[in-house]
A and B are shown apart, each in its own frame.
Chain A
Amino acid sequence: MLNLKQYEAVNWNKPTSDLAKVFWDQQWKQMWQPEEIAVSKDIKQWKDFEHQDTYKKVFGGLTLLDTVQTNIGMNEIAKYNNDLQEKAVLTVFGSFEAIHAKSYSYIFTTLCNNDEIDAVFEWVKKNEFLQYKANRISEIYLAIKENDDESLWKAMFASVMLESFLFYSGFFYPLYLGGQGTLRNSAEVISLILRDESIHGVAIGFFAQNIFRKFSQEKQDELKVWGYELLLDLYQNEMKYTEDIYAETGLSPEVKAYVRFNANKALMNLGLDTMFPEEEVNPIVMNGIRNEGSTYDFFSQKGSTYALAKVQPITDETFNFDFLKK
């Protein structure tokens, strides 16, 4: 037994992190698979759809971000986070990121042929703005050091930027179209992804806040400056990216407003002050992210409202209705 590293087992009976279990439960309750949504119903509309190019690039960009988040982001953060329960939650989040990345491919496979798909993935490799954000975020992920709260916090900050902010220039388009009855099933997939991303943003933001509190005031100020600078840098890149892919649709101004709205949200998740003034965001897109679940209709698509059950056995007490007579 001498000189052996002592491993500790994760003990869920003793909470070590405030909300780890809440996030864990919520994520599993939202379990879904892309194949549950009949994207093939969009094929007819897709054939006559004017801005196919923009749409494909939007999805190509999202695929890259989710790939980075699966392969590097969640893995690295999970690796260096010392709380075993949070580690477990982050690993689960990582699996969901993998589902997301795969679900874009599912939409591609359904709507496009192989040549078109290859072209999109080639475009992803070459687009400078897209590569810039992937690089910028990954660098921070890869710079985490063992037992170093500062680099871990920075990675969490970057992760929240990605989940709550950078995704949204892409999410805008399917939500905008879906709300108007165009390519609704692909939009349904996006709304399921959003439902997950919003937990990831809140959870990691929350974990980050717990770390942040432990820093000295001086450190906090320093990190804030670092953070806002990063955000600004990403924001400027995001504006160019938006102009680039949305050029032919004329939607850039609206997408930008939405991006700013979400940048503020990302900051709030991290417990920091917002940066951009409040402005109006297209209400159709806003309603696309309400995740209470819309009205289910069996002649139409699958509703996004069903989730895993909490099982409890039926007992003799189940047949007792005395509580109603009072």
Chain B
Amino acid sequence: MKEYLKLNNDLLNSYSSTGILDLDKDKEATRKYFLENVNVKMRYYIDLEEKIKYLVAEGYYERDFLDMYPMEFIKKLFKIAYSYKFRFPSFMSASKFYESYAMKSRDGQEILEKYEDRITIISLYLAQGDQDLAERAVRSIMEAYQPATPTALNSGKKARGELVSCFKLTVDDTMNSIAENIGYCLELSRLGGGVGTLLTDLRPLGDPIKGILNRASGVMPVAKLLENSFSYSNQLGQRNGSGVVYLNIFHGDIEEFISSKKPNADEKIRLATLSTGVIIPSIFFELMKRDKDIILFSPYDIYREYGKRMSEISMTEMYYELLDNPNIRKLKRVNARKLYTEIKKTQFESGYPFEVFDDNVNENHALKGLGRVKMSNLCTEILQVQSTSEITDMDQPNEYGLDVSCNLGSIDIHRATKSENFEELITTGMQLLTNVSLMTNIKNVPSVAKANKLMHSVGLGVMNLHGHLVQSNILYGSPESIEFVDYFMEALNYYSLQASMQIAKDKGETFYRYEESEYANGRYFDSYITKEDKEPSATVKEALGNVPIITATMWQELKEQVAEHGVFNAYRLAVAPTGSISYIRSSTASLAPCTERVEIRDYADSRTIYPMPFLNNDNRHLYVEAYEVDPYKLIDLYVAAQKHVDQGISMTLYVTDRWTTEQLAKVYIYAWMKGIKTVYYVRQRLQTLEECVSCSI
């Protein structure tokens, strides 16, 4: 048996039996891991030059990007990286890096790079010859900026996947479009991406085909086809492809769609591995509040009558119009409360579906002049405008619309507050993300390639909020924590927009149809310019560290600069769930509270015990576990962040099995009322029997 795994497991074991943390066990596990597993496998090089030459000659590193720099500069950059004297803070971070991220020889026997090497290569690769940027990149990544997994994993490698991982596609109501999109899904899944697909525009089960009723099979068979495509196509077997399908709650097939995630659903319609998400317009909540029935519609009728797809109209605005129009069939009448209870039930049992609050998304959409946001992605943080491609017969040219690829990166909140220059950190992050977008060309999915070329969308997010709050002696969900999030995210928004404006200025170019955006007409800045400047409380001020407080005057200045130069990135911010990437940095995930102080993490094929960062026997009480956080306060915290994020935030809700479907519904309704845009998983902790018996005996 591997000694280090035993030591790592010992930590949890003694913690659960005695309640005392023995962190030395984890340190010892890390040390043993290096001795037994890393040091012996590490390839030895005479010096840096030999290392790089070897890795290029053997076809591990690409040559072109290294040729853009003089060797002296490359050496200097490596030196900077090593000057940080980085040490892996936990067994989890070390093993995660060496098992999943570090480059290994083709037979898997030798380790070819260390942590610092990987970071320097990422920096050199993404800076594309810009020495100033490369240097700032190394510093930022060593300190507080983390590129998303595909970028961190693939940068600089000769045999590599794509730098981006997240895609959204829209399917049109034609066989051509369905077939074309299944092809795209295979392609994108092969590249290791998570793919979101919108099914709202497909006609439901029993609809007419060529005017003959009862011919269409509806959305479920298409979802099944997609599920099979994703399981077939995986990244060289490294991980299974993943996908999510979204459907509007007013769509005729919604009931089957919801049931498809129930564990006991019929195998023919059950979606075992495909995720689901429901688009919910505000009118649904209003009808539910008044205990009304809702009417389900067919996108086929809507298109024939109005020349628009179901996803292209606002259901909230059009609902009564559709009801009154005799040419629109009323497919079914369903009680709103019953339907929503059914959704809550499925969420308890499977965690799905995700929910997207249609009107919260589209009312607060900086690009509302360009069109509607119709769906989200696999982690519900990407929210961008899309337009459907016209896929024609093979002898005709297709007319491509806009779909989405998004490249992500995250700021480690704790380390950002210590960063000497917050502005530079964010600017560097934005420049690196922008370069990823410029270097990406998903040529086999033209609608994605086209949108990327025109929009340069990125998604900068955050991680390690809970870790930082613990370090700052602030309780998760307290008024101070919410205040902190508000100030921090505002600063992030401000500097990311400033950076995007600066890129537009330098390049003399803005994103496509910038003129129609809320940035161009200035409305985006209204709430910021009219706000009343106030001072944060002493605790929050200390927690903010070096993060500047943004005043109304600063926003006014930025508004003027934006008016002059425009903005380069159509979308800038999105807070992803940051799973494995936060483990390497020994951070807590995203904005979320930790789920357990000492977590068991089953990732793909290994089980690792992960004590939360900075956790010790004295601050344990601050690491309140997610299931004990008041859900309303958790939502308030996300609301504070959402105000400053142009796209979305992956927000998971945590329930115990004592909850009822009604309590869960209430929390969702609250989230909708407060302007939350999306809800990701519902995670449930099943009480163990010991707890059960002990509280009732």
B607 touches A294 (CB 8 A): yes
CB distance from A92 to the nearest CB of B (A): 15
Instruction: Kindly state whether residue A309 has any CB partner on chain B within 8 Å.
Output: yes
State whether A308 and B348 are in contact (beta carbons under 8 Å apart), knowing that A180-B2, A283-B12 are contacts in the complex: yes
Please encode chain A, from 286 to 314, with 1 for each CB lying within 8 Å of some chain B CB and 0 for all others.
Answer: 11001111111111110101111111111
State whether A299 and B348 are in contact (beta carbons under 8 Å apart), knowing that A29-B686, A305-B683 are contacts in the complex: no
Q: Which residues of B in the span 676-694 have a Cβ within 8 Å of any Cβ on A?
A: 681, 683-686, 688-689, 692-693
A199 touches B689 (CB 8 A): yes
State whether A309 and B348 are in contact (beta carbons under 8 Å apart), knowing that A292-B686, A300-B603, A314-B662 are contacts in the complex: yes
Please encode chain B, from 1 to 37, with 1 for each CB lying within 8 Å of some chain A CB and 0 for all others.
Answer: 1100110011011001000000000000000000000
State whether A318 and B662 are in contact (beta carbons under 8 Å apart), knowing that A26-B692, A180-B2, A293-B686 are contacts in the complex: yes
Chain B residues positioned under 8 Å from A290 (CB to CB): 12, 16, 600
CB distance from A96 to the nearest CB of B (A): 14
A181 touches B605 (CB 8 A): yes
A297 touches B603 (CB 8 A): yes
Which of A184, A199, A299, A306 is close to B242, meaning CB atoms less than 8 Å apart?
A299
Which of B13, B666, B688 is close to A286, meaning CB atoms less than 8 Å apart?
B13
State whether A284 and B6 are in contact (beta carbons under 8 Å apart), knowing that A202-B693, A306-B348, A310-B660 are contacts in the complex: yes
- Bound-state CA distance A295–B602 (Å) is 6
Chain A residues positioned under 8 Å from B685 (CB to CB): 292-293, 305
State whether A314 and B670 are in contact (beta carbons under 8 Å apart), knowing that A32-B263, A33-B263, A295-B599 are contacts in the complex: no
A282 touches B351 (CB 8 A): no
Instruction: Kindly state whether residue A178 has any CB partner on chain B within 8 Å.
Output: yes
A298 touches B693 (CB 8 A): no
Instruction: Kindly state whether residue A315 has any CB partner on chain B within 8 Å.
Output: yes
Instruction: For A29, give the chain B residue with the smallest CB separation.
Output: B657
Instruction: Kindly state whether residue A2 has any CB partner on chain B within 8 Å.
Output: no
Chain A residues positioned under 8 Å from B670 (CB to CB): 321
State whether A287 and B604 are in contact (beta carbons under 8 Å apart), knowing that A30-B686, A32-B263, A314-B341 are contacts in the complex: no
A300 touches B596 (CB 8 A): no
Which of B5, B16, B239, B693 is close to A299, meaning CB atoms less than 8 Å apart?
B239
Which of A19, A29, A293 is close to B696, meaning CB atoms less than 8 Å apart?
A19
- Bound-state CA distance A125–B419 (Å) is 69
A314 touches B13 (CB 8 A): no
Instruction: Kindly state whether residue A22 has any CB partner on chain B within 8 Å.
Output: yes
Please encode chain B, from 650 to 689, with 1 for each CB lying within 8 Å of some chain A CB and 0 for all others.
Answer: 0000000111111101100110010000000101111011
- Bound-state CA distance A308–B660 (Å) is 10
Chain B residues positioned under 8 Å from A295 (CB to CB): 595-596, 599-602
State whether A296 and B263 are in contact (beta carbons under 8 Å apart), knowing that A199-B689, A282-B6 are contacts in the complex: no
B263 touches A36 (CB 8 A): yes
A306 touches B660 (CB 8 A): no
Chain A residues positioned under 8 Å from B16 (CB to CB): 290
Instruction: Kindly state whether residue A324 has any CB partner on chain B within 8 Å.
Output: yes
Instruction: Kindly state whether residue A179 has any CB partner on chain B within 8 Å.
Output: yes
Please encode chain A, from 2 to 36, with 1 for each CB lying within 8 Å of some chain B CB and 0 for all others.
Answer: 00000000000000000100100010011111001
A interface secondary structure, majority: loop
Instruction: For A182, give the chain B residue with the smallest CB separation.
Output: B605
A306 touches B602 (CB 8 A): no
CB distance from B221 to the nearest CB of A (A): 21
Instruction: Kindly state whether residue A198 has any CB partner on chain B within 8 Å.
Output: yes
Chain A residues positioned under 8 Å from B686 (CB to CB): 29-30, 291-293, 305-307
Instruction: Kindly state whether residue B340 has any CB partner on chain A within 8 Å.
Output: yes
Instruction: Kindly state whether residue A316 has any CB partner on chain B within 8 Å.
Output: yes
Q: Which residues of A in the span 31-62 have a Cβ within 8 Å of any Cβ on B?
A: 31-33, 36, 38, 44-45
B9 touches A296 (CB 8 A): no
B291 touches A316 (CB 8 A): yes
CB distance from A221 to the nearest CB of B (A): 26
B239 touches A283 (CB 8 A): no
Instruction: Kindly state whether residue B471 has any CB partner on chain A within 8 Å.
Output: no
Chain A residues positioned under 8 Å from B696 (CB to CB): 19, 22
- Bound-state CA distance A324–B600 (Å) is 34
- Bound-state CA distance A311–B343 (Å) is 11
A283 touches B349 (CB 8 A): no
Please encode chain B, from 578 to 620, with 1 for each CB lying within 8 Å of some chain A CB and 0 for all others.
Answer: 0100000000000000011001111111110100000000000
- Bound-state CA distance A297–B239 (Å) is 12
Instruction: Kindly state whether residue B76 has any CB partner on chain A within 8 Å.
Output: no
Instruction: Kindly state whether residue B288 has any CB partner on chain A within 8 Å.
Output: yes
- Bound-state CA distance A297–B683 (Å) is 11
- Bound-state CA distance A19–B681 (Å) is 33
B689 touches A198 (CB 8 A): yes
- Bound-state CA distance A181–B96 (Å) is 13
Chain B residues positioned under 8 Å from A45 (CB to CB): 605
Chain A residues positioned under 8 Å from B692 (CB to CB): 22, 26
Instruction: Kindly state whether residue B275 has any CB partner on chain A within 8 Å.
Output: yes
B693 touches A306 (CB 8 A): no
A294 touches B693 (CB 8 A): no
Instruction: Kindly state whether residue B350 has any CB partner on chain A within 8 Å.
Output: yes
CB distance from B381 to the nearest CB of A (A): 14
Chain B residues positioned under 8 Å from A202 (CB to CB): 689, 693
Instruction: Kindly state whether residue B289 has any CB partner on chain A within 8 Å.
Output: yes
- Bound-state CA distance A12–B535 (Å) is 61
A306 touches B684 (CB 8 A): yes
Chain B residues positioned under 8 Å from A33 (CB to CB): 263-264
Instruction: Kindly state whether residue B203 has any CB partner on chain A within 8 Å.
Output: no
- Bound-state CA distance A26–B690 (Å) is 11
Instruction: Kindly state whether residue B345 has any CB partner on chain A within 8 Å.
Output: yes
Instruction: Kindly state whether residue B644 has any CB partner on chain A within 8 Å.
Output: no
B602 touches A311 (CB 8 A): no
- Bound-state CA distance A45–B606 (Å) is 13
Chain A residues positioned under 8 Å from B242 (CB to CB): 298-299
Chain B residues positioned under 8 Å from A301 (CB to CB): 602
Chain B residues positioned under 8 Å from A312 (CB to CB): 660-663
Instruction: Kindly state whether residue B337 has any CB partner on chain A within 8 Å.
Output: yes
CB distance from A277 to the nearest CB of B (A): 16
State whether A283 and B693 are in contact (beta carbons under 8 Å apart), knowing that A305-B683, A305-B686, A321-B670 are contacts in the complex: no
CB distance from B633 to the nearest CB of A (A): 10
State whether A306 and B600 are in contact (beta carbons under 8 Å apart), knowing that A32-B263, A312-B661 are contacts in the complex: no
- Bound-state CA distance A318–B666 (Å) is 6
B601 touches A294 (CB 8 A): yes
B607 touches A283 (CB 8 A): no
Q: Which residues of B in the span 250-281 have a Cβ within 8 Å of any Cβ on A?
A: 263-264, 272-273, 275
Which of A184, A291, A324 is close to B602, meaning CB atoms less than 8 Å apart?
A184
Which of A26, A284, A287, A306 is close to B350, meaning CB atoms less than 8 Å apart?
A306
Chain B residues positioned under 8 Å from A38 (CB to CB): 273
Which of A178, A284, A311 is close to B341, meaning CB atoms less than 8 Å apart?
A311
A311 touches B1 (CB 8 A): no
CB distance from A291 to the nearest CB of B (A): 5
Instruction: Kindly state whether residue B84 has any CB partner on chain A within 8 Å.
Output: no
Chain A residues positioned under 8 Å from B264 (CB to CB): 33
- Bound-state CA distance A176–B5 (Å) is 11
Chain A residues positioned under 8 Å from B666 (CB to CB): 318
- Bound-state CA distance A324–B696 (Å) is 29
Instruction: For B379, give the chain A residue with the smallest CB separation.
Output: A298
Instruction: For B2, give the chain A residue with the smallest CB separation.
Output: A180
| 19 intermolecular pairs with C-beta atoms under 8 Å apart | A29-B686, A180-B5, A283-B6, A287-B607, A294-B602, A295-B596, A295-B601, A300-B602, A300-B604, A305-B683, A305-B684, A307-B348, A308-B349, A309-B347, A310-B660, A312-B662, A313-B341, A313-B662, A314-B288
Q: Which residues of B contact A (CB under 8 A)?
A: 1-2, 5-6, 9-10, 12-13, 16, 237, 239-240, 242, 263-264, 272-273, 275, 288-289, 291, 337-338, 340-341, 344-345, 347-351, 378, 579, 595-596, 599-607, 609, 632, 657-663, 665-666, 669-670, 673, 681, 683-686, 688-689, 692-693, 696-697
Closest 7 CB pairs of A and B: A309-B348, A283-B9, A181-B606, A312-B660, A312-B662, A283-B13, A314-B337
Known: A307-B348, A308-B348. 6 other contacts (CB 8 A): A22-B692, A283-B13, A287-B12, A298-B242, A305-B685, A314-B337
